[in-house]
């Protein structure tokens, strides 16, 4: 099948739906005073500004732009948007549907030399331009896009720069200007709409209205010659002075031009396509899938060879009753049958990590399934993060149940400690890291700083919902009988022979994370781009497939190494099975470090601290996920092979 056809299909199932989710239904617009069935005013919302050179975003008002006095019209932000630092506010731009505007004045900002506040605001503007901060505007729930020609052809990105700077060494202005900071105080907005000539819209609306399908912007820097501006064809750029003399006045006049264009070839349901299709690397995604599939096929072949040939012969030989001497001869993995289910050290901690790992695994699986069905499309902002957090809270029951079952199988009796640690340890680590980074964002006056009331709401979800559900799961887990193992455990531990380099714990664990990481490292690049480089991630079909491949790879890798260790008469597999696949998270951390130093241009100690803080948070959750998959795969494998052999 052609990759382009599959790409369009995945885009369709992600974006286009046969029904409309709440808040994502099409909005009909029409000219003023021509109909009461549709809207005439097109609201423009402004979001926080961010940059690839800093992790710290800021609200629109932080840079002293023209702001609206009516904050009551701000859309209600969901939990995911608040945590991600989105701050959507109404703007002072006045847009009427199908009404073109030419060089309309928005507001004038005046700054006077000698005033500390004015000089500080100009310094903030220069710093924002120097760090290449970008605006993010929203019209009709669509991001305003900045389109330009790149080496690979036309490219449209969400957001546009607040200005450009020019230096002798480097700069962002094109064409190059003299050294300085230039603010984009004028924007040309081009709004494309699909007219109402559609049978389903009604005869009254067909003649006068339409639906918006794209909003493109071209920012410019214009040094207006007078306050009452009416000419935006001036080619002279507005430079922000480095320093103002005392009582010297500097004014910035913000203007805008609006142009409406009719286009009936693009349907409203396909209006996101021009943004998504302009993003490259589709072929690389297919390469990532093929690369992962090759690894899975290789591992599956190895596991099949062990199960069908080696183990089959071993079991047949162990179970033969032709001769008494042959029946008593034991070697390899059967020698440790009396120790293989001996409870591990730190069994409490292992059971707690496994319970939280099941919680993360179920959360990831359900979230990706919803994303593939289109419920978490880019149009539904913050839905992905909201869904993940709510699911994590609601999945406390399986976490408590699994932790209790595993801990009881170890012979543990401190059930209260087990339940408390399951409900507190891993969520506490996540919340603790998040709170420390939030303190840094508070200190930087960033829009990403989560408000105190939201923190209280998160604590309420944790202690009011997650903890009780964990207790419920643990209650049912402890009520059930302990897991019965297929072989009995000897009272005296068997002496483990000296191991070779390849069968020792540390080399095996280090090798165990290589193949699972090889399945995800290409996909990981796009995920990091979406997090740190403001690129939109939408290929959830690819991501879901890679997630399944990752789970299979973790399981098969752990089973292989576990079998080799058992054949070497090393029966300490409990922690090793968790750490073998869980070591993939260490490679993830190294890759994030590589991405930080080679792909990003982040400056500042606070931004670096936040980057590595969020990276540690992601690595910790990924360790829980992969470690749990490896453990339960190995647990199933060992129970399977020891249940089919005859043991005296």
Write out pLDDT tens, residues 150-167: 666 667 788 899 999 988
Q: With bands split at pLDDT 50, 70 and 90, how would you rate the model's confidence at 643? A: confident
Is the pLDDT at 87 greater than 80? The verdict is yes
Q: How many helices (H) and strands (E) does the chain have?
A: 20, 18
Residue 574: how many other CB atoms lie within 10 Å? 23
How do 145-150 and 186-195 pair as beta strands? Answer: unpaired
- As a whole number, mean pLDDT of residues 186-195 equals 91
Q: Report the chain's C-alpha Rg in angstroms.
A: 30
The pLDDT-based confidence of 204 (bands split at 50, 70, 90) is: very low
Q: What is the spatial distance between Cα 542 and Cα 546, in angstroms, rounded to a whole number? A: 6
Q: What value, to the nearest 5°, has the Cα angle with vertex 462 and ends 456 and 468?
A: 135
Give the lowest-confidence range in 70-79, 115-124, 448-457, 634-643. Answer: 70-79
- The pLDDT assigned to 626 comes to 95
- Other C-beta atoms closer than 10 Å to the C-beta of 247 total 9
Question: What is the average per-residue pLDDT within 224-230?
Answer: 69
Cβ within 8 Å of residue 145, ≥6 positions away: 156, 157, 158, 214, 215, 216, 217, 274, 275
Q: Which has the minimum average pLDDT: 422-431, 458-467, 540-549?
A: 540-549
For residue 579, the model assigns a pLDDT of 94
**Token pair of 639 as six digits:** 């129970």
Q: 39 with 29: CB under 8 angstroms?
A: yes
Taking the model in full, what pTM does it have?
0.86
C-beta atoms surrounding 313 within 10 Å: 10
Region 348-371: mean pLDDT is: 94
Residue 74 is predicted with a pLDDT of 74
- Our measurement of the distance from residue 536's CA atom to the centroid of its chain's CA atoms, rounded to an integer in Å, reads 10
Q: Which of 542, 505, 510, 555 is nearest to 299 (CA)?
A: 555
pLDDT of residue 199: 45
Asked if residue 331 has pLDDT above 60, the reply is no
* Residue whose C-alpha is closest to residue 282's, from 8, 545, 534: 8
pLDDT beyond 50 at 414:
yes
State the pLDDT at residue 35: 56
Nearest residue to 161 via CA among 179, 182, 139: 182
Tell me what the mean pLDDT of segment 119-134 comes to. Answer: 92
Give the DSSP letter of residue 152: T
Residue 110: strand pairing partners: 251
Whether the pLDDT of residue 614 is over 90: the answer is yes
* Highest-scoring range by mean pLDDT, 34-48, 209-223, 429-443, 543-557: 429-443
Residue 12 has pLDDT above 60, yes or no: no
Torsions phi, psi of 314, nearest 5?
-60, -50
pLDDT for 2 beyond 50: no
CB 91, CB 61: distance < 8 Å? no
In 263-351, beta strands by DSSP E: none
- Which pLDDT value is given to residue 45? 92
Q: Which pLDDT band holds residue 303 (cuts at 50, 70, 90)?
A: confident
The mean of the pLDDT values for the chain is 83
Contact (Cβ atoms closer than 8 angstroms) between residue 509 and residue 576? yes
Residue 9 has pLDDT above 50, yes or no: no
What tokens does 414 get? 């401190």
Edge-to-edge strand list for the sheet holding 134-135: 54-58, 49-51, 134-135, 160-161
DSSP per-residue codes, 594-626: HHHHHT----SHHHHHHHHHHHHHHHHHHHHHH
- 249-262 and 186-195 strand pairing: parallel
587-607 average pLDDT score: 91
The token pair that represents 282 in the structure block: 């589709």
Find how far residue 431's CA is from the centre of its chain. Answer: 17
The whole-angstrom separation of Cα 378 and Cα 17 is 13
């Amino acid at each position: 099948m052609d990759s382009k056809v599959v790409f369009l299909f995945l885009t369709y199932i992600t974006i286009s739906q046969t029904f409309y989710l709440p808040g994502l239904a099409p909005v009909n617009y029409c000219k003023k005073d021509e109909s009461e069935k549709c809207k005439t005013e097109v609201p423009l919302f402004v979001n926080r500004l961010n940059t690839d050179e800093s992790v710290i975003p800021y609200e629109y008002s932080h840079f002293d732009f023209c702001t609206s006095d009516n904050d009551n019209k701000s859309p209600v932000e969901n939990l995911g948007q608040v945590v991600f630092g989105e701050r959507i506010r109404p703007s002072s731009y006045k847009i009427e549907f199908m009404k073109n505007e030419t060089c309309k004045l928005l507001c004038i900002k005046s700054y006077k030399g000698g005033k500390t506040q004015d000089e500080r605001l100009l310094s903030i503007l220069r710093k924002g331009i120097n760090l290449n901060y970008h605006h993010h505007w929203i019209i009709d729930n669509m991001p305003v896009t900045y389109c330009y020609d790149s080496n690979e052809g036309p490219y449209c990105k969400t957001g546009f720069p607040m200005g450009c700077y020019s230096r002798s060494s480097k700069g962002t202005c094109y064409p190059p200007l003299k050294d300085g900071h230039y603010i984009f105080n004028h924007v040309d907005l081009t709004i494309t709409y699909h007219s109402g000539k559609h049978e389903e819209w009604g005869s009254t609306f067909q003649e006068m209205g339409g639906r918006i399908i794209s909003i493109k912007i071209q920012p410019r820097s214009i040094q207006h010659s007078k306050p009452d501006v009416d000419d935006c064809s001036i080619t002279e750029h507005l430079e922000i002075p480095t320093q103002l003399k005392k009582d010297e006045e500097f004014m910035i006049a913000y203007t805008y031009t609006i142009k409406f264009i009719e286009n009936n070839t693009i349907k409203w349901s396909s209006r996101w396509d021009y943004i998504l299709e302009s993003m490259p690397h589709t072929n690389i995604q297919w390469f990532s899938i093929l690369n992962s599939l090759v690894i899975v096929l290789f591992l599956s072949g190895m596991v099949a060879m062990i199960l069908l040939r080696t183990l089959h012969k071993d079991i047949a030989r162990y179970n033969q009753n032709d001769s008494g001497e042959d029946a008593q001869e034991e070697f390899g993995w059967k020698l440790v049958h009396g120790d293989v289910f001996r409870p591990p050290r730190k069994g409490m901690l292992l059971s707690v990590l496994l319970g939280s790992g099941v919680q993360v695994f179920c959360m990831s699986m359900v979230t990706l399934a919803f994303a593939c069905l289109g419920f978490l499309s880019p149009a539904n902002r913050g839905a992905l993060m909201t869904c993940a957090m709510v699911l994590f809270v609601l999945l406390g029951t399986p976490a408590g149940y699994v932790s209790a079952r595993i801990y009881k199988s170890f012979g543990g009796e401190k059930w209260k400690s087990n339940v408390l640690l399951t409900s507190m340890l891993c969520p506490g680590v996540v919340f603790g890291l998040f709170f420390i980074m939030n303190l840094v964002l508070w200190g930087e006056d960033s829009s990403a700083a989560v408000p105190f009331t939201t923190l209280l709401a998160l604590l309420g979800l944790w202690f009011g919902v997650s903890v009780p559900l964990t207790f419920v799961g643990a209650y049912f887990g402890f009520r059930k009988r302990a897991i019965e193992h297929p072989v009995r455990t000897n009272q005296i531990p068997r002496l483990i022979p000296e191991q070779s380099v390849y069968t020792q714990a540390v080399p095996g664990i280090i090798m165990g994370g290589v193949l699972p990481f090889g399945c995800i490292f290409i996909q990981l690049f796009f995920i990091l781009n979406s997090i740190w480089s403001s690129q939109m991630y939408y290929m959830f079909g690819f991501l879901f497939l890679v997630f399944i491949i990752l789970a299979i790879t973790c399981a098969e890798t752990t089973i292989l190494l576990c079998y080799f260790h058992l054949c070497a008469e090393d029966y300490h597999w409990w922690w090793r099975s968790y750490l073998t696949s869980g070591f993939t998270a260490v490679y993830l951390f190294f890759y994030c470090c590589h991405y930080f130093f080679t792909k990003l241009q982040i400056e500042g100690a606070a931004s670096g601290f936040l980057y590595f803080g969020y990276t540690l948070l992601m690595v910790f959750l990924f360790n829980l996920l992969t470690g749990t998959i490896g453990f339960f795969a190995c647990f199933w494998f060992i129970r399977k092979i020891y249940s089919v052999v005859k043991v005296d």
